[in-house]
A and B are shown apart, each in its own frame.
Chain A
Amino acid sequence: MGIPLASWSGVHLVEVLIASSLLAAVCTSLPAAFAAAAAAGLAAGQTTVAVILAAQKVEEFRAAPFAAAGPFDGSDLLDAAGRVVEGPSSAPAFRRVWRTEWVPASSAQTLVITVLVAPYTTRSPLLLDTPPRGAARLVTVRTRKAA
């Protein structure tokens, strides 16, 4: 009936150490997981703003007179609230670049509008065709209406 008391060896210190190590490993990974979740939340918030700012620029090109909508390209810097700022010294949060170009063989009747908004960084230039992580890139087409 059960283990004889004489043979009961109890818990060894080594076993306590192993159990403690396992618990410590689990516990130390928790803050990292929370930090990753926090970073993902911040990135999602930035993407929300980036999409609104990209849509704003697209809407500007769609509303402009057709002849004034392109083709051309440009860029600007924006702060965290989406206001245009003058230069890198103004602590920009986003860089926005855009390009409007004719569709080949459309006889200047159809315009492709591309806008990219990404968190501001000085590390590398922002290229429309290679959006970085966390960027919002919108592409649309505008056609000249018949008179």
Chain B
Amino acid sequence: MSLGEVLIASAITLTLMGSVVGMTVPLQRLFDTQLEYGDMHQRLRAAADALTRDLAAAGSPVMPYRSGIRQHDPDAGVFYRTGVITLVPAMAEAGGTSHTYYLKRDSPAGPGQLMRYDGNESDLPLADHVTSLEIAYFGADAAQLAPAQLTDGPWFPDDEDRNRFDMDVLRIRRVRVSIRVEASPGARRRFLPDREITFDVSPRNLNRE
């Protein structure tokens, strides 16, 4: 092999290796983002599945606030919270399990966790890096029920009962849920925009003939 051939072979090898090294970084980035993209959808699916299942099985009343043994919102005079919903299965016996869904943030701008409270002692995370949870309520005429309508009374069973609720919540026939998730901080967020899904559920037990 002459010196000329060695030079040509070296040039070819260097060019090729340079190209390979140049491709490595974007491919690694693409690989990382794909994993996180799949994870974002998994979180979205888990959150949507849990909410859909509980909404489909829910009976009256659907409560737009936290209800249970701990931090029972009516004790504080709160009967509506944005992004909070308590669902009681229609077939639950007295004292049965309810499910409250809400967003927990350690700081106002920090990452959120979708939480589920079982009405007793346990608050458990359902999905991480959830940036927003919006819930809207609709009546039989498909008109949206405003928060003021759900907090102004009249109350059932009376004005003093610990578990009282605004009777207008009995008008709820359809619930619209919007969930938005973000990429985890370690991932390359600028390549992964937030993912959002909006879906309606018409609880069967609230729409009985």
Contact = CB atoms under 8 A, between A and B. Distances in A.
A66 to B, nearest CB: 6
B5 A81 contact: no
B52 A13 contact: no
B197 A23 contact: no
B13 interface: yes
A48 B44 contact: yes
Interface of B: 1, 5, 8-9, 12-13, 16, 19-20, 23, 27, 30-31, 34, 37-38, 41, 44-45, 48, 52, 56, 178, 195-204, 206-207, 209
Given A45-B37, A52-B197, A82-B198, A31 B45 contact: no
B1 A13 contact: yes
Interface of A: 10-13, 16-17, 20, 23-24, 27, 30-31, 34, 37-38, 41-42, 44-45, 48-49, 52-53, 55-56, 59-60, 62-66, 80-83
Given A45-B41, A63-B204, A27 B23 contact: yes
A10 B169 CA distance: 87
B23 A82 contact: no
B9 A13 contact: yes
Closest 4 CB pairs of A and B: A63-B202, A16-B9, A81-B196, A63-B207
B27 to A, nearest CB: 5
B199 A82 contact: yes
A48 B38 CA distance: 10
Nearest to B10: A16
A12 B6 CA distance: 9
Contacts, number: 88
B22 to A, nearest CB: 10
A82 B207 contact: no
Contact of B178 (A10, A80, A81): A81
| Interface of A (DSSP majority class) | helix
Contacts of A49: 197
B153 to A, nearest CB: 28
Given A12-B5, A23-B16, A81-B196, A48 B41 contact: yes
A11 B202 contact: no
B20 A27 contact: yes
Contact of A62 (B38, B178, B204): B204
B30 A38 contact: yes
Nearest to A35: B30
A63 B9 contact: no
Nearest to B24: A30
B209 A65 contact: yes
Contacts of B198: 81-83
18 contacts: A13-B9, A16-B12, A20-B12, A27-B16, A34-B27, A34-B30, A45-B195, A48-B41, A55-B52, A56-B200, A59-B56, A59-B204, A60-B200, A63-B206, A63-B207, A64-B202, A81-B197, A82-B199
